[in-house]
Structures are given as C-alpha cells and as structure tokens.
Amino acid sequence: MIHRQPTLRTRTIAPLNSLDQDWNDEPSVAWLRDGEGILGWGVAARAHFRGAERFSRAQRWAQEQLTDTRIEDGVGLARIAPIAFSSFTFDDESEGSVVVIPRTVVGLRGGVSWRTDLEMPNEPADSNDPGSSGIADLLGGEHEWLPATAWHDDEADAAQWCSAVDESVKRIAAGELDKVVLARRITASFGGPLPLIPVLLRLAERFPECWTFYVEGLIGATPELLVQRHRDRVLSRVLAGSVAAGKTSSENDRAASELKASAKDLAEHKYAVRSVAHALAIHCTDLHVPASPTVLTLPNVQHLATDIRGDLADRASALALAASLHPTAAVCGTPTERARSVIEELEERDRGRYSGPVGWFDTNGDGEFAIALRCAQLNDDRTEADLFAGCGLVADSSAASELAESEVKFNAMRQVLSG
C-alpha cells in the first residue's frame, strides 16, 4: 500500500483590509483580534476527548493526523505549519472537548493575506470550502442579520445562585479556601438558526481588544489570554477583579481608580496572578511578573490586568502550557482542588466548555489559547444558546454586588445576540 502524506499548500490572496468583514460561507472555526487573525472552512479531521488526560491525548492525535505533512509554501511565511483549533471543557469529566483541523484557512497578519489548503490522504470532497466560488467572492457579500432573540432569565435561579455565593463566602471566612469562582447560566432562544458571520463580525467590531473565537458551537469574545507561545517566548494575560465601565471617559477614570484601590478586587487578582506565575515558572526562565496590575477598559466592563512574560526553558507546546495552567484561580479559585470541590457542589449545572481553554496550535508547538469567557454555547441547530458568567468570590464579597457584576458580564453577549 502506498502511504500518502498530508499536503499543505499556501499561497497569497488578494489583500484584505480586515478579517472583520462580510463573508458568504459559514466558517468552521475562527480566531480574530484587532482586525487580524485566521478563519477556517471545512473539516479535514475532528476528534473529541474527555478526562484528565484530554490535553495530552489531543496533542498526540493532532500530531498523528499531521505528521510528515508536505508543505508547499508559496508565501514564504515564517514557521508555516498545519494548524488545529480546539476548545476544552472546564471540568475533566465533562463531555465536549474537541479538536478541529480545518481544510482551508484564510489569514491576515501584519498586512499579509494568505490562504492554506490542507489535503488529507483519502479525504472525501468537502463542499463547505470558500475556494468553491473563489476567494474574491467571499468579500463584500450581504448577509442575513440576526433572528429575534428571547431571553430566559429565571429569578429563582438568580436567587439560588446568590444563596450559593453566601455559602461560599461563609466557607471562605471559615478558612476552608481563599477564593472560589461561581458561574451563572442564562439561556436564549432564536427565531431561526443563528447565522455565525454576523455574530463574529459584531463581536470583532465591538471588542477589538478581545479574542473573538468560534469552535464547534462555542462562540464569543474573551478578554483573557491564557497563554501564547511563539518560538521560545511565552505570554499570559491575567484578568481578575472587575467593575462596570462608565458612560464617559471621566466615569471610566474614576471607576478605574476605585478598582485599583479595592482591597477585595486586588486580593482576587493576586490569587489569579500567583496561580499563573507558579504554573509558568515550571516551564520558563526570566519570568516577568509586574508588581501591580493595570486596568483593561472594555466597552462594558473594566478589569484589573497583568501581563506575565517569560522565556521557554523546555520544549512545552502551547497546548501543554495551556494544560499546565488550567484551571487558573481566575476561573476556579484557590486552593485549586478545594475550589473545584465547592464548584462541583454549589453550581447547579455543568459549565461545559465555558471557562475552559479555547484557541489554536500548530505542529511547531506554537499557538494561542484564551479562556472561554463572554461566550455562548449553541445547540446543534443553532436555535438555542447557553450563556455563562462567573464571579470571583473572596472574604468580603456580597451576593448583591456579585449578581450585578454577572449581569455586566452577560451584557457583552446579550447585546450582540439581540441584533
């Protein structure tokens, strides 16, 4: 039997002013930020994983699929390599962690626009390919807008969540743990299948500082970068401690000053920074951790933010780094295992892939993973969605203020999905 290799063909395409524009075909995956990024169409291979070893199993599977890929590079891009997109569950035992290898990828970075096509051995034809009509036809098309949205906010659920907050704070005060993050869920139903392109475009336009993503029904724009690896450079952006954004710049300035002086928010942020720095220290040298956070201002919320940078000391891939970091104190709590236990006990519903790592990785080991926040999990026919928002709880947290904070966080997706 003749063994055929996967083949990756790369070529330049007509310059794109931005990836945040109209496209005619629905993508299978997306990763956008500040007008740049990558979009994928079709599926060359897909696999689902579950359990504590899901990250390492996903890495091995992707390597097996793409090993010995022959690259025909017509662009001259540095470190061009086959790419996989992935989204992982928060909890080890939850179902839904997935890796998708797209057939076609269109990218824009540093003013260079390119397209890659991956041909897998014995692969059937896939009609969901932008090349079927030509790349130029993808630009400038008109798209349907969003169907009507109905929101299902249960006051009883909100009251139950507030009771869980009170119970968590009580346990923190008793010394059982230092911090825990509790998530709320609301649901939405649509008057028809939700079109992906308008949602992606609106997210990318409204939140250019965030990472807009789509992987197998999970769509959102998250402000928190779990880890980025490029060659031997590593970056993580930690967010913890939040306040609603103001309506004017002076209101934002005042809120930012109050946030930076808030003992409660600074304590919450400290735990998150410590957990990330500890995990990265195992893999990095020259780890730079700023002494104090900055304030990241988004259209609806402001966050305390710390960018941690380091030089990679071993051969850990981006996916391996994401595995070592997850879950951070920003989405779980501290001590980690005790916080996990409280979450399992007090949260009424499985988070699914909310607050899990989402992003992309390549066969060079490079990649970017964010934490899946400000997102919606769509059902199979895209007529319903679950939205989650989490709040970090410490000793002086109050249920009323945390409930208000969760509503601020929900607003990012509420506004986008409401048309």
Phi-psi region of 112 (alpha: psi -120 to 50; beta: other; left: phi over 0): beta
Backbone angles phi, psi at 128, to 5 degrees: -85, 70
Distance of alpha carbon 320 from alpha carbon 309, whole angstroms: 17
Burial of residue 353, with CB atoms counted within 10 A of its CB: 0-12 exposed, 13-18 middle, 19 or more buried: buried
| Beta bridge partners of residue 45, listed in sequence order | 101
Q: Are 331 and 390 in contact (CB under 8 A)?
A: yes
Look up 179 and say whether it is catalytic: yes
**DSSP-based three-state secondary structure for 54:** helix
Residue of 36, 179, 402, 405 marked active site: 179
Residue whose C-alpha is closest to residue 133's, from 41, 9, 7: 41
Amino acid at the residue 346: L
Distance of alpha carbon 174 from alpha carbon 352, whole angstroms: 30
Name the packing angle between helices 318-325 and 263-281 (round to 10°).
130
Backbone angles phi, psi at 346, to 5 degrees: -100, -25
Residue of 36, 216, 224, 405 marked active site: 224
Residue whose C-alpha is closest to residue 309's, from 270, 280, 272, 274: 280
The angle at the Cα of 371, spanning 368 to 377, to the nearest 5 degrees, equals: 115
Q: Are 28 and 42 in contact (CB under 8 A)?
A: yes
Residue whose C-alpha is closest to residue 30's, from 168, 166, 219, 207: 219
Number of Cβ within 10 Å of residue 190's Cβ equals 21
Look up 26 and say whether it is catalytic: no
Helix then strand then coil, % of the chain, to nearest 5: 30, 35, 40
Distance of alpha carbon 413 from alpha carbon 419, whole angstroms: 10
**Side-chain-facing half-sphere of 40: CA atoms under 13 Å:** 26
Distance of CA 283 to the CA centre of its chain: 22
Q: Are 168 and 342 in contact (CB under 8 A)?
A: yes
Report the catalytic residues.
179, 224
